[in-house]
């Protein structure tokens, strides 16, 4: 792929804008030598304004999504892409969220531009475990763990019962729910079906990958070891 297209695909600008960056001498190699549009350096050797190029296609990252941000590219309110470098929204192929979290849910949100990986994580048969910490409006009744684990609970407007899910109770108003599927508003609807209400919801882990000490609003690219952890649960 031509260097201009490669750089444009990373969201640095249209091909015309990137061509202008070459003319302005802003594209160099690692030693600071000006590059020309028909040069063929390895991507790792390219600098723009002295900075290394963003990661090429195959980017996977995790964000600690704060409450109040929507998993959308278009919503008029705050969106999760506002928390990433603006270029990332312009990449081709698109950097998309891996599934979604509700606007009022915080926690671990993955992004990738790798369609095969996205499918590997979200496909129902992958059954990747997702851990959600829920704060409830009312005290737990005591029968929730058994009902959630039964595999017989069917939510209103769903055609099939939920897969068994594990509930770990911390105290009367706090519990962690581990799901292996991802239905619409699933955690909130599960507690609502039993007459409770989720006041706060946080996803702490997907597969074997945990948020760790990533602060709300922060993101980081995933390394091979993170991907191994993701699928090693």
Tell which residue, 230, 215, 226, has the closest CA to residue 64: 215
Residues 111-140 that bind ligand URA (CB under 6 A): 132
Give the range of 58-66, 75-83, 139-147, 186-194 binding ligand URA by CB under 6 A. Answer: 186-194
99 token code pair? 């599934």
153 contacts ligand URA (rule: CB under 6 A): no
**CB of 103 vs ligand URA, minimal distance in Å:** 8
For ligand URA, give the closer residue by CB, 91 or 202. Answer: 202
Spatial strand order of the sheet with 27-29 comes to 27-29, 46-48, 51-52
For ligand URA, give the closer residue by CB, 92 or 138. Answer: 138
105 contacts ligand URA (rule: CB under 6 A): yes
For ligand URA, give the closer residue by CB, 35 or 211. Answer: 211
Q: Tell which one of 27, 61, 187, 211 touches ligand URA (CB under 6 A).
A: 187
196 contacts ligand URA (rule: CB under 6 A): no
Assess contact for 34 and 28: CB atoms under 8 A: yes
For ligand URA, give the closer residue by CB, 81 or 132. Answer: 132
Q: Could you give the CA distance from residue 101 to residue 112 in angstroms, rounded to a whole number? A: 15
Assess contact for 46 and 39: CB atoms under 8 A: no
Helix axes 115-122, 224-231, angle to 10 degrees: 30
Q: Which of 102, 114, 139, 143 is catalytic?
A: 102
Query: Catalytic annotation on 102?
Result: yes
Assess contact for 149 and 125: CB atoms under 8 A: no
95 contacts ligand URA (rule: CB under 6 A): no
201 contacts ligand URA (rule: CB under 6 A): yes
Q: Could you give the CA distance from residue 196 to residue 136 in angstroms, rounded to a whole number? A: 7
**CB of 184 vs ligand URA, minimal distance in Å:** 8
123 token code pair? 């496909």
Number of CB atoms found within 10 A of residue 144's CB:
21
H helices of 38-175, where? Answer: 115-122, 144-150
101 contacts ligand URA (rule: CB under 6 A): yes
Give the range of 17-25, 143-151, 161-169, 185-193 binding ligand URA by CB under 6 A. Answer: 185-193
Q: Tell which one of 9, 70, 186, 196 touches ligand URA (CB under 6 A).
A: 186
Which residues are tagged catalytic? 102
């Amino acid at each position: 792929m031509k260097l201009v297209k490669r750089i444009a695909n990373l969201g640095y600008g249209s091909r015309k804008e990137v061509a202008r960056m070459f003319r302005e001498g802003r594209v160099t190699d690692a030693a600071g030598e000006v590059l020309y549009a028909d040069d063929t350096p390895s991507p790792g050797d390219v600098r723009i304004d002295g900075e290394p190029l963003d990661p090429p296609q195959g980017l996977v990252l995790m964000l600690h999504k704060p409450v109040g941000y929507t998993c959308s590219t278009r919503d008029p309110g705050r969106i999760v892409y506002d928390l990433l470098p603006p270029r990332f929204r312009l990449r081709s192929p698109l950097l998309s969220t891996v599934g979604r979290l509700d606007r009022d849910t915080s926690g671990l949100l993955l992004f990738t531009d790798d369609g095969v990986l996205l499918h590997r994580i979200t496909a129902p048969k992958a059954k990747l475990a997702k851990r959600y910490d829920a704060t409830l409006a009312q005290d737990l009744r005591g029968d929730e763990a058994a009902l959630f684990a039964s595999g017989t609970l069917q939510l209103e407007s769903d055609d099939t019962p939920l897969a068994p899910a594990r509930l770990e109770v911390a105290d009367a108003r706090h519990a962690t729910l581990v799901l292996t599927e991802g239905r619409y508003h699933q955690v909130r609807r599960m507690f609502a079906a039993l007459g409770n209400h989720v006041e706060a919801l946080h996803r702490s882990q997907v597969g074997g990958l945990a948020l760790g000490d990533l602060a709300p609003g922060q993101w980081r690219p995933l390394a091979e070891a993170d991907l191994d952890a993701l699928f090693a649960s």
